[in-house]
Structures are given as C-alpha cells and as structure tokens.
Amino acid sequence: MGQNELLSKIRQWDNRAGQWMGRHFYIIFFQVILIIIFILGFGIGLKTIYSSFDVPKNDVIAQLLLIQSYAMILTVMLLILIALGVLNLISHNSRIRSAIRNIEFNLSKRRFDQKPAREDKDY
C-alpha cells in the first residue's frame, strides 16, 4: 500500500466519521430535546383539560383564560411538530449532500488513478 493510497483511505475514513457525527449526533440531540418539550407540553395540555372541568360556566374571565390556554397549547404543539419536520428535512438534506460528496470523492479518486502517464515522445 503506497503513501497516496494510505492517505486516501485515511481521508475517506475521516470523511465518513465526520458524516456520521454531522448526520446523527446533532440531529438526534435536537430531536430528543424537541420530543422532551413535546411530552412536557402534552402533560401540561392534559392538566389544562382536566382543570377545565372545575371552571364554572358563568365565569367569563375563567372561560376566556381556558380558551387562551387551549389556543396556546395547540400553537406550541404545532410549532414543535413543525420544528421536528424541519429537522427531518435538514437531516435528509445533509444525507443527500454527504452522499453526493462521497460520490464526488470516489470519482475524483478514480479520475486521479486512471490518469495516463505523460509520455514525452517526439514524433
């Protein structure tokens, strides 16, 4: 194994390790955070629904606050779901980008390997 081939393998391993870290670590980290926030928001939503049984029907202010709570919980849940969808799109985009980069790396390696040796012949 020549030095160029060894360095090419090391670059390829480094590229794949960087792809794995970029593709999995940050995406999974942010997804876990968003899922925890979603679960906490869902728990708060259930508590709000449970407390709605204690709100008297003739108390207008309490009814308005309850409606505002429902609207805010729904808005937060939708925003979290949209954030998870955008994170999924970013993950998919980075996978496509890394696949294209990997294909380009392999093609450039083949192009370099298949380059004919220059022959200085006088015709």
Q: Grade residue 120 by pLDDT with cuts at 50, 70 and 90.
A: low
Segment 47-75, tens digit of pLDDT: 888 888 888 888 889 888 888 888 888 88
What average pLDDT score do residues 82-111 get? 76
Asked whether 69 and 51 are in contact (CB, 8 A), the reply is no
What pTM was computed for the model? 0.53
Lowest-confidence pick of 38-42, 55-59, 71-75, 102-106 = 102-106
Q: Grade residue 22 by pLDDT with cuts at 50, 70 and 90.
A: low
pLDDT surpassing 60 at residue 121: no
pLDDT score recorded for residue 97: 75
pLDDT score recorded for residue 14: 83
Burial degree of 87 (CB within 10 A; 0-12, 13-18, 19+): middle
Which tokens in the block code for residue 105? 């790396």
